[in-house]
Amino acid sequence: MTNVTIAISPDWTIDLNIPGITVLEWDFKTPPPADHIDIAVAPHVTTPDLVERVAETGAKLLQLGSIGYDGIPRDLPEGLAVANAASVHETATAELAMASLLYAARDLDRAREAQVEARWEGYYSAGLADSTIILVGIGGVGSAIAQRLAPFETNVIRVARRGREDMYGTVYSFTDLPELLPTADAVVVAVPLTESTENMVDDRFLSAMKDNAILVNVARGKVAVTDALVAHADRLRLALDVTDPEPLPNDHPLFEKATLITPHIGGNTQAMYRRMNRLVRKQVGNFISGEPFVNVVLGR
């Protein structure tokens, strides 16, 4: 019988009541709970020293709790693989993107303000039907957003790092954005943080958007230039799940100027725990059977 030792962050409740498997809790801040660990399941939020701590245990896999892995060094110790949490957060993040988009498009902040003041005041809003929405990023999260936009009868323009044709039609490239942005009623940003996407949403990007257009950012805070967001917040409707820095200082002007700010909770639903459970069980099963780990983004 194979003996497998797994260290899991208390962020997760993973059901691994399987013979031959030892499950240990580890906060990844204190010393490892065992001299040797086969699989380490990290906290939801990574820290700069995460790889170093895990490498000390001889682990074969560092399973992240996030889709993004921009904080993980590319020069990994020999024998260690890093897997992201693809399949865990996409659906929930797409839900929040849609909720934020609808909140802004239907002026629900206005309705909420009237409710608080006990005013009955009808109004018209832009809505989503017949609008043009640019979706920047069509990976797991972006594709999930596109699927949810379809029933709202919108014109979705998909943009990715590389332009191409696929089964759904045209995918434009990042270089096409200056021509595309003025046509958009809303822009939803769902790209990973890379060298090519850091500071993508800058003054030039925002200046190209028409007045009263909506910007939804469910990517990473550093994808947008914060000062540029503040500068354009009076003429654009900003719905931000991510910011730079995080958390925002209490007196930051975005709190007052943005239409909606949520505290990086895109993936935070009950489904996250069930899906993380399934992913970790899959990794353990593959380790025992000798099959490759899934979702490997760095390392062997």
Enumerate the active-site residues: 220, 246, 264
> For strand 169-173 and strand 164-166, is the pairing parallel, antiparallel, or unpaired?
antiparallel
C-alpha dihedral over 124, 130, 133, 139, to 10 degrees?
120
Q: Name, in order, each residue with C-beta under 8 angstroms of 91's C-beta and a sequence gap of 6 or more.
A: 144, 271
Cis previous bond, 19, omega within 30:
no
Using only C-alpha atoms, the chain has a radius of gyration, in whole angstroms, of 21
